[in-house]
Amino acid sequence: MRVFASLMLTVLMLFGGTSAVAQLSYNESNDGELSDDLSNPDLLVFGVGLNTVAGNVGSASGTGATNGTDADFFSFSLAPGLSVDSITATRTGSGFQSFIGYVATGSFPGASTGALGAGDLDGNALFSDGESLLPGELLSSPLTAGDHAFWVQETGDAIDYSISFNVVPEPAGSMLLVGLGLGVTMMVRRRR
């Protein structure tokens, strides 16, 4: 029984970090304005499950982010063994679609010069209400361990948006846990 308890403690220590962080529900109206600086996106901490980022971009005057203001930039890091298997976006406000950009790093290229174009991104899309961005127009395969940064912008009147990221353990990590569980069970049975 001590072997079983010791192995379970080891498994919890090894894999506990992937689920120890709570799901994030970030809302600009409660948690503060997200960065409008492409060279310094806000770093958010996502946990296993559905993580949501909600904000407001655009401008009441209709000039929006084309003048270099009122875009939202945020990033997050995924620990080894975790992935994002779906991203869904909603928006409310005038117009039909808003812009989202993605890079597989913690910040955006072109930040030092202040110039950023669609060619500098690993993915970009226009989104409307309830649109699947992963899998979908923005990305076709899950996000895996490492840094990820997002840019949300509206060039017209202000809109409210909400983007949900579903963080899950990668299948390989899940299979390793199942294998460890079976191995422990077999060891306990042999000792009896």
Summarised one tens digit per residue, pLDDT across range 139-155 is: 999 999 999 999 999 98
What Cα–Cα distance (Å) separates residue 28 from each residue in 34, 35, 83, 95?
7, 10, 25, 21
| pLDDT score, position 112 | 56
Give the pLDDT of residue 16. Answer: 47
- What is the architecture of the domain spanning 2-191? Sandwich (2.60)
Cis-peptide into 135, omega within 30 deg: yes
For 2, the token pair is 């001590």
Torsion angle, alpha carbons of 10, 14, 20, 23, to 10? -140
Written as one letter, the residue type at 2 is: R
pLDDT at position 136, please? 94
Alpha-carbon gap, residue 125 to 21, rounded angstroms: 29
Integer Cα distance of 27 and 162 in angstroms = 9
| Residue located via tokens 């913690």 | 106
Could you say which DSSP state residue 64 is in? G
CA atoms of 153 and 21, how far apart (whole Å): 28
- Residues (pLDDT < 70) of the chain are 1-20, 61-69, 110-118, 172-192
